[in-house]
């Protein structure tokens, strides 16, 4: 795949290394000359020195028809214009950018950027999720936080111990995808009986996550 | 009746430079409710004395700032910050997300025209205007000779 990386410092370097291993065709554009020299001495890939928000720089970089463009500059508006130029003027198939202001994630998506990543947003969401529920529970959000994958260990006091899964009144939009019992992995069905010490991995939509936890732990909602 | 209502809907001017401050001053004099947004407080000194609108300090690409300036009910947005990329983003937010009927944007780089093509956004290119004016005055002096 032809991948263009615009701007960014540590993130750019890390990406170059990991993408190079997968033998993608990389093009790097960076507005700082000494950093370009630094990159050029480390990697055998095209490094273009210039402001990636300018059309002529993107022309020089020959990004026409690239598969992916990743905009990593520190300025949200710059990243937006880079993505839009790549899409509209150079027909890049997929554009990805990072933003510093979490509020821009939705806006940029609405305006046509395919993937928008905000480190602040992701970390804040993780903190929020891990602080609203108990410590022993781990959860992971996918699809921008609409769906969560959760892990919970069943203890003796929980009301679900020694019950068949089909008898527990779980809501509709969730599924227990696997049960880890000691070192074995079980794919449960309605007949599976939960035991103390089991670790459940379940997928649910984010809205009912707390409800599912309160059913498993017997706690109040 | 309709006229007074229409005038009460705010106009947002982003960037309080020489152009932004003058636009804001003129519109304010005509009786519109004007909000000027700039991230630098000292920029507001450029506003003329008769300006009677609101000054908001902050990043014009931040949606919270825009909503504080009542962008939802705005009738016009003028994107006149120093940076083309910021102007490009603001004008598209105003037109494509908030559906503001009149959106004007200033671009230093005429290439950016292609990015707003097809949207309800009108652009001003100072470099083009300067060139036109140059041709006009240079041509006039040529005729005089």
Per-residue pLDDT, B25: 93
pLDDT tens digit sequence for A87-145? 999 999 999 999 988 888 889 999 989 989 988 888 887 777 666 655 456 677 777 77
B120 touches chain A (CB under 8 A): no
Chain position carrying tokens 């046509």: A112
B109 touches chain A (CB under 8 A): yes
Q: Which of A19-28, A145-154, B15-24 has the lowest mean pLDDT?
A: A145-154
pLDDT at A221 > cutoff 50: no
Per-residue pLDDT, A135: 47
Q: What is the mean pLDDT of residues B8-14?
A: 91
Reading phi first (left if > 0) and then psi (alpha if -120 to 50, else beta), residue A186 is in beta
Query: Which residue among B61, B96, B112 places its CB closest to the CB of A76?
Result: B61
A91 touches chain B (CB under 8 A): no
Q: Collect all residues with Cβ–Cβ distance below 8 Å to B23 and sequence separation of at least 6.
A: B13, B78, B80
Paired sense of beta strands A115-117 and A94-98, if any: parallel
B28 touches chain A (CB under 8 A): no
Closest CA to B91 of B64, B121, B118, B70: B121
- Where residue A186 falls among pLDDT bands split at 50, 70, 90? confident
> Do the chains contact at A55 and B89, CB–CB below 8 Å?
no
H or E stretch at A140: strand A138-142
Average pLDDT, chain B: 89
Paired sense of beta strands A138-142 and A147-153, if any: antiparallel
CA-based nearest residue in chain B for residue A88: B115
Per-residue pLDDT, A153: 82
Cα–Cα distance measured from residue A214 to residue A16, given in angstroms and rounded to the nearest whole number = 44
pTM of the model: 0.74
Chain A nearest CA to B116, separation (Å): 10
Torsion of the alpha carbons at A40, A43, A44 and A49, rounded to the nearest 10 = -30
Query: How crowded is residue A205: how many other Cβ atoms within 10 Å of its Cβ?
Result: 15
- Where residue B139 falls among pLDDT bands split at 50, 70, 90? confident
> Do the chains contact at A77 and B89, CB–CB below 8 Å?
yes
A199 touches chain B (CB under 8 A): no
pLDDT at B117 > cutoff 70: yes
Query: Which residue among A55, A88, A103 places its CB closest to the CB of B63?
Result: A103
pLDDT at B118 > cutoff 70: yes
Pairwise pLDDT comparison (B141 vs A64), residue with the higher score? A64
pLDDT tens digit sequence for B24-57? 999 999 989 999 999 999 999 999 999 999 999 9
Using CB atoms within 10 Å of the CB of residue A6, give its burial: 0 to 12 exposed, 13 to 18 middle, 19+ buried.
Answer: buried
Chain B nearest CA to A12, separation (Å): 21
Quick one: angle between helices A10-21 and A33-42, nearest 10? 30
> Do the chains contact at A77 and B64, CB–CB below 8 Å?
no
Chain position carrying tokens 């309800």: B120
Query: Which residue among B63, B85, B92 places its CB closest to the CB of A53?
Result: B85
In chain A, % of residues over pLDDT 90: 29
Per-residue pLDDT, B145: 56
Q: Which of A133-142, A195-204, B132-141 has the lowest mean pLDDT?
A: A133-142
Task: Calculate Rg over the CA atoms of chain A.
Answer: 23
In chain B, % of residues over pLDDT 90: 73
Per-residue pLDDT, A134: 54
Query: Which residue among B88, B93, B114 places its CB closest to the CB of A107?
Result: B93
> Do the chains contact at A77 and B63, CB–CB below 8 Å?
no
E strand segments, chain B: 11-14, 34-38, 54-57, 76-79, 102-106, 122-124
Per-residue pLDDT, A180: 87
Average pLDDT, chain A: 85
pLDDT tens digit sequence for A4-50? 999 888 888 888 888 888 888 899 999 999 999 988 898 888 999 99
């Amino acid at each position: 795949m032809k991948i263009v990386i615009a701007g960014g410092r540590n993130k750019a370097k890390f990406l170059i290394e990991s993408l190079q291993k997968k033998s993608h065709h990389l093009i790097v554009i960076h507005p700082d000359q000494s950093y370009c020299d630094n990159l050029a001495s480390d990697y055998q890939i095209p490094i273009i020195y210039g402001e990636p928000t300018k059309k002529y720089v993107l022309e020089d970089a020959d990004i026409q028809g690239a598969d992916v463009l990743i905009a990593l500059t520190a300025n949200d508006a710059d990243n937006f214009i880079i993505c839009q130029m790549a899409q509209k003027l150079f027909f890049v198939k997929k554009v990805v950018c990072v933003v510093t202001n979490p509020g821009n994630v939705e806006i940029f998506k609405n305006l046509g950027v395919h993937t928008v990543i905000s480190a602040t947003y992701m970390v804040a969401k993780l903190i929020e999720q891990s602080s609203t529920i108990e410590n022993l529970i781990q959860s992971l959000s996918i699809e921008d936080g609409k769906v969560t994958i959760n892990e919970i260990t069943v203890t003796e006091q929980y009301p679900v111990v020694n019950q068949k899964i089909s008898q527990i009144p779980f809501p509709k939009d969730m599924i227990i995808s696997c049960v880890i019992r000691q070192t074995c992995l079980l794919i449960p069905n309605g007949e599976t009986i939960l035991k103390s010490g089991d670790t459940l991995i379940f997928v649910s939509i984010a809205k009912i996550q707390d409800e599912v936890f309160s059913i498993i732990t017997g706690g109040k909602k | 009746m309709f006229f007074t209502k229409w005038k009460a809907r705010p106009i947002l001017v982003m960037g309080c430079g020489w152009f932004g401050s003058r636009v804001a001053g003129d519109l304010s004099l005509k009786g519109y409710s004007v909000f000027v947004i700039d991230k630098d407080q000292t920029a507001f000194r450029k506003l003329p004395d008769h300006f009677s609108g609101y000054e908001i300090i902050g990043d014009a690409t931040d949606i919270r700032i825009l909503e504080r300036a009542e962008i939802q009910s705005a009738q016009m947005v003028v994107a006149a910050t120093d940076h083309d990329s910021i102007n490009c983003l603001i004008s598209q937010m105003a037109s494509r997300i908030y559906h503001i009927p009149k959106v004007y944007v200033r671009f230093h780089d005429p290439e950016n025209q292609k990015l707003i093509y097809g949207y309800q956004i009108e652009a001003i290119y100072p470099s083009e205007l300067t060139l036109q004016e140059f041709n006009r005055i240079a041509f006039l002096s040529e005729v005089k000779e």
